[in-house]
Amino acid sequence: MELQFSTAQNGKHKMDGDPMAAILANLEEGLKSTEELDSSPIAVEIVNMAAPDVKRQERGLREVINYSLEERNREYINRRDGIAPIVKLLRSGENATIRNLAAHALANMAIYTPSHRSIVAEGGIAALANALNSTDASVRERALTALCNLCLTDDSIRVSVVQANATGRIVESLGSADDATVRAALMVVSNLSVNPAVAGTIGEQGGVAAVARHLGSGDAEKSKFALFAFASLSGNARNHPQLEGHLRELSRFIGQQDPTIEIKVLTILVNVSGNPSGQTLIVQHGLAGEVIRKLDRDDYTIKVLAVQVVQNLAMSDQGCRAVDTIGARKVLQVLKLGNPQLALPCIHAITNLTTNAAIRKALQDDGALAAVQRYESSADPAVKDAASRAAGNLRI
């Protein structure tokens, strides 16, 4: 999804001496030699951004911000080396207005995935990290927005953000008095923490507690973004002890019938329910009953995650009692749907649940043995092995 970084038609120029002067020379040379550039108003503004005159820089940035609202223009700006002057101006601390506009322009350009390579190549990650130190809330918010988009799909960029020592500043931004800054910071944490190692780093820097403060926010969007960040942070087991202290707050989300919200809540519960302490807290906070109700949902992902939570809860006697025969029968109903992708988690859950005598008897009465035996001839070795173990329990 990345494009090789290049300059105008003449190829990439070596930049000696003053970087901005070299950028301007390269762009003006391209403007003279390329008919397409010569006829494009965007090209003029790219040259203006690279000019030494502050008024021209400001005009160029404002126009590029407007042009970059459209996908085709973002592609053009990236292809014609428009990223270099934007990053250069963001790094400059000489003019607050210019830095604000540059952060805005880079946030817009970061929406366009092929521009990410150019942004990284021009030192954009370090420039954005430095912008998080700005006393101007709008500069910080736009720098966070750019980082959010940059970290959406590329794991190497997530690592680069850590290497730029930006994560601590991102966590600090979660305590901002500016709501837009907090929302942007929450989404950066969400996207960054898709990488478990990065999630661990953010957790070590106080990110879990900083995110948790916003779970109960009266601002619905902020609260939702906090949930997304929480789900990503749960991907690193080192964060689980901190996350467990806030499981009660998931009660306000789990009853919602919004697939996006439900999947995030269940993702957290799957991850923390692998720990005995997490299992205990899920039961204590009444979340097990809500998970069981999710087994009735038609959404495939919701079903899978709910079954996985049940599977983990059933690793303990306390968890089995919380799931009870009602939850066990719902798992069996899901298995009987015959969806091969749902088979393995359902069979694992039944194996764990049948360690409880009352549940085992209820499942035996409902024909669980026959349902499980269907998979003893599965071509998938994992399914076949799991089915044999579950069948063994059901024959007791």
Q: What is the pLDDT of residues 62-74, one digit of tens each?
A: 999 999 999 999 9
pTM: 0.86
pLDDT mean over 198-226 = 97
* Identity of the amino acid at 375: Y
- Name the pLDDT band for 47 (thresholds 50, 70, 90): very high
Give residue 313's pLDDT.
Answer: 97
> CATH homologous superfamily for 245-396?
Leucine-rich Repeat Variant (1.25.10.10)
Task: Give me the chain's average pLDDT, please.
Answer: 91
- 304 has pLDDT over 60: yes
- Name the pLDDT band for 11 (thresholds 50, 70, 90): very low
pLDDT mean over 106-117 = 96
